[in-house]
């Protein structure tokens, strides 16, 4: 730990002397704690960090549009447009790699869920499914199922290790939650949790914000903090030791995510890709999602705010949007590529400016909860490594099957617990109907085969299928064909055994 004098000098040379303005008012214990926190700061880089928002704002590209082009078709696979035989080949390739213990999944779970309105990690959230399962449980069960499917096909006993990047805010509660739930049936040794770095929030005058008299306001460094965290926590060494060569990286809040998706993995491996992105077709030209494309011939994600409306509205000969590849934070990386990024490129990642409402203490020591953004948090994004890829591919999936994020509290028009829950129930209703079942609504009336659940439709079927029974709709015909299913209906392992025995 640094001495008070060393810290004072470091803060002074960074132009941040105000951080110690309440030192005389702190107790001995508070001083020890604060000194420890300040010792962990990169004091040499603090001046640069505080000035970086202004630099980033000044260096924003004025017009990317004239340098943009879509990713060429030969680098794109699609569940909708690729041949059925190609999709099956990719799936077989993915299942083979999984059976050989060469595939891992990595979850980005460092965010705090403030927009959702909860004080605990998003993965612990229960969206109100009939089973009451949380996002973490659903994801764990999908890992168990894909292991089982690979084992069955290849006569193996495989493991898909689960790497979970947390932050200072989410590590302890996530560890506790997994322990309390017996790691959801997975081996605890195959779940590796690690923390991303925290960085100080800065106000509009380039000053570090004090959250308390003896506490700096800190925030995770964005999901692009992954690359530094892989180094800090020796995660790449762990992957190498386990023989993991391919990594599926995703965000915690997508309730429909296909863990270690064998089709996506197989597609990327077959194309010799070192880096790949899953995308969904944009719902409309100005939908606020980043677009996966090329800029000056190099793959990258261009944020919706960086594209002019006329470019966003461009359409091809078939009427489809030219820039339709919406980024959903669902990526493939080879371990070799991640090693390259860690060794050569992580210092070159672009910094993104995020304006936030950051609670603080004012000059008089009063606690203030701002109603308008007062602070800047610098974030890196996981997709900012795309330009360093030597072989980049895109895989297009259907939104209704693979993307329904949970970001906002109920009452919001999109990305809420209701929309996430209904996306999953609608998907499972489609699976059950495709398997030959008749679904009833909550009043016992048969639903037409095309009926699905929508945010405002509470009469539709509440049909939930456990990932332990079916990973993506497979194997349901022998259980459900010719059956009439009440609402709500939960098809878990116990119920599946009962139906098999009938």
pLDDT per position as a tens digit, 255-280: 999 999 999 999 999 999 999 999 99
Report the CATH number at residue 308.
3.90.550.10
Does residue 261 lie within any of the structural domains?
A: yes
Q: What percent of the chain shows pLDDT beyond 70?
A: 96
Domain range for 450:
420-501
Tell me, yes or no, whether 231 and 364 share the same domain: yes
Tell me, yes or no, whether 256 and 388 share the same domain: yes
Exposure b/e, 29-59, CB count within 10 A at least 16 = b: ebeeebbeebeebebeebbebbebbeeeeee
Report pLDDT for 457: 47
Report pLDDT for 456: 42
Round to whole Å and give the CA distance between 13 and 19.
12
Residue-wise pLDDT for 389-439, tens only, equals 999 999 999 999 999 999 999 989 899 999 999 999 999 999 999 999 999
* Residue 275 near residue 292, CB atoms below 8 Å: no
Tell me, yes or no, whether 117 and 181 share the same domain: yes
SS (H, E, C) 217-263: CEEECCHHHHHHHHHHCCHHHHHHHHCCCEEEEEECCECCCCCCCHH
Report pLDDT for 116: 87
Report the CATH number at residue 493.
2.10.10.100
Round to whole Å and give the CA distance between 240 and 227.
16
Q: Is the pLDDT of residue 458 over 50?
A: no
Element (H, E) at 4: helix 4-13
Report pLDDT for 117: 85
Round to whole Å and give the CA distance between 165 and 111.
10
Does residue 114 lie within any of the structural domains?
A: yes
**Residues contacting residue 452 through CB under 8 Å, at least 6 positions apart:** 426, 429, 430, 460
Query: What Cα–Cα distance (Å) separates residue 39 from each residue in 10, 208, 271?
Result: 10, 15, 47
Query: What Cα–Cα distance (Å) separates residue 281 from each residue in 15, 43, 235, 297, 326?
Result: 47, 44, 33, 21, 6
Tell me, yes or no, whether 433 and 287 share the same domain: no
What dihedral do alpha carbons 127, 410, 418, 261 form, nearest 10°? -60
Does residue 91 lie within any of the structural domains?
A: yes
Which of 402, 435, 450 delimits the end of a domain?
402
Does residue 251 lie within any of the structural domains?
A: yes
Report pLDDT for 156: 95
Both tokens assigned to 471 = 């990973």
Tell me, yes or no, whether 146 and 89 share the same domain: yes
Which of 369, 402, 435 delimits the end of a domain?
402
Q: Is the pLDDT of residue 221 over 50?
A: yes
Report pLDDT for 348: 87
Phi, psi of 267 (to 5 degrees): -60, -50
Both tokens assigned to 351 = 């910094």
Does residue 177 lie within any of the structural domains?
A: yes
Predicted confidence band of residue 454 (pLDDT cuts 50, 70, 90): very low
**Residues contacting residue 60 through CB under 8 Å, at least 6 positions apart:** 306
Tell me, yes or no, whether 22 and 77 share the same domain: no
Query: What Cα–Cα distance (Å) separates residue 459 from each residue in 410, 444, 465?
Result: 19, 10, 18
Does residue 51 lie within any of the structural domains?
A: no
Query: What Cα–Cα distance (Å) separates residue 307 from each residue in 68, 262, 326?
Result: 9, 33, 13
Q: Is the pLDDT of residue 15 over 70?
A: yes
Report pLDDT for 59: 60
Tell me, yes or no, whether 387 and 438 share the same domain: no
- The DSSP code for 289 is S
Does residue 65 lie within any of the structural domains?
A: no
Q: What is the CA radius of gyration of the chain?
A: 24
Tell me, yes or no, whether 393 and 426 share the same domain: no
**Nearest one of 330, 260, 316 to 95, comparing CA atoms:** 260
Tell me, yes or no, whether 84 and 222 share the same domain: yes
* Residue 35 near residue 2, CB atoms below 8 Å: yes
Phi, psi of 421 (to 5 degrees): -60, -50
Q: What percent of the chain shows pLDDT beyond 90?
A: 78
Tell me, yes or no, whether 324 and 447 share the same domain: no
Does residue 408 lie within any of the structural domains?
A: no
Tell me, yes or no, whether 351 and 209 share the same domain: yes
Tell me, yes or no, whether 396 and 428 share the same domain: no
- What's the domain count of the chain? 3
Q: Is the pLDDT of residue 106 over 80?
A: yes
């Amino acid at each position: 730990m640094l001495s008070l004098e060393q810290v004072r000098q470091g803060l002074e040379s960074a132009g941040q002397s105000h951080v110690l303005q309440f030192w005389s008012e702190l107790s001995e214990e508070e001083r020890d704690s604060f000194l420890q926190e300040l010792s962990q700061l990169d004091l040499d880089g603090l001046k640069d960090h505080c000035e970086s928002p202004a630099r980033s704002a000044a260096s924003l590209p004025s017009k990317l549009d004239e340098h943009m082009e879509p990713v060429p078709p030969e680098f794109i696979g699609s569940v909708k447009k690729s041949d059925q035989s190609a999709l099956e080949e990719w799936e077989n390739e993915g299942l083979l790699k999984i059976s050989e213990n060469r595939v891992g999944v990595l979850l980005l779970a460092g965010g705090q869920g403030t927009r959702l309105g909860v004080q605990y990690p998003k993965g612990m959230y229960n969206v109100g499914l009939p089973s009451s399962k949380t996002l973490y449980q659903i994801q764990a069960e999908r890992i168990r199922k894909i292991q089982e499917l690979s084992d069955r096909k290849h006569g193996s006993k495989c493991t898909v290790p689960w790497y979970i990047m947390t932050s200072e805010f989410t590590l302890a509660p996530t560890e506790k939650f997994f322990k309390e739930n017996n790691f959801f049936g997975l081996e605890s040794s195959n779940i590796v949790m690690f923390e991303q770095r925290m960085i100080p929030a800065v106000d509009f005058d380039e000053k570090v914000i004090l959250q308390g008299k003896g506490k700096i306001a800190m925030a995770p460094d964005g999901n692009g903090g992954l690359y530094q965290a892989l180094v800090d926590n020796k995660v790449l060494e762990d992957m190498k030791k386990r023989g993991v060569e391919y990594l599926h990286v995703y965000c915690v809040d997508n309730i429909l995510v296909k863990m270690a998706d064998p089709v996506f993995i197989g597609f990327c491996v077959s194309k010799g890709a070192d880096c790949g992105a899953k995308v969904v077709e944009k719902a409309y030209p100005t939908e606020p999602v980043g677009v996966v494309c090329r800029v000056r011939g190099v793959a990258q994600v261009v944020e919706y705010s960086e594209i002019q409306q006329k470019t966003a509205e461009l359409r091809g000969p078939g009427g489809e949007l030219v820039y339709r590849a919406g980024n959903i934070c669902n990526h493939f990386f080879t371990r070799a590529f991640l090693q390259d990024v860690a060794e050569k490129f992580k210092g070159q990642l672009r910094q993104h400016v995020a304006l936030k409402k950051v609670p603080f203490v004012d000059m008089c020591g009063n606690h203030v909860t701002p109603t308008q953004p007062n602070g800047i948090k610098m974030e890196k994004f996981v997709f900012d490594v795309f330009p360093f890829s030597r072989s980049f591919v895109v895989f297009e999936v259907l939104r209704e099957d693979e993307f329904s994020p949970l970001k906002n509290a109920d009452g919001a028009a999109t990305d809420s617990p209701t929309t996430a829950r209904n996306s999953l129930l609608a998907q499972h209703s489609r699976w059950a109907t495709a398997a030959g079942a008749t679904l009833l609504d909550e009043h016992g009336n048969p639903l037409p085969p095309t009926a699905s659940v929508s945010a405002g439709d509470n009469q539709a079927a509440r049909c939930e299928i456990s990932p332990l029974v079916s990973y993506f709709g497979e194997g349901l015909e022998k259980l459900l064909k010719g059956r009439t299913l009440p609402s709500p209906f939960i098809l878990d392992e116990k119920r599946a055994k009962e139906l098999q025995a009938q």
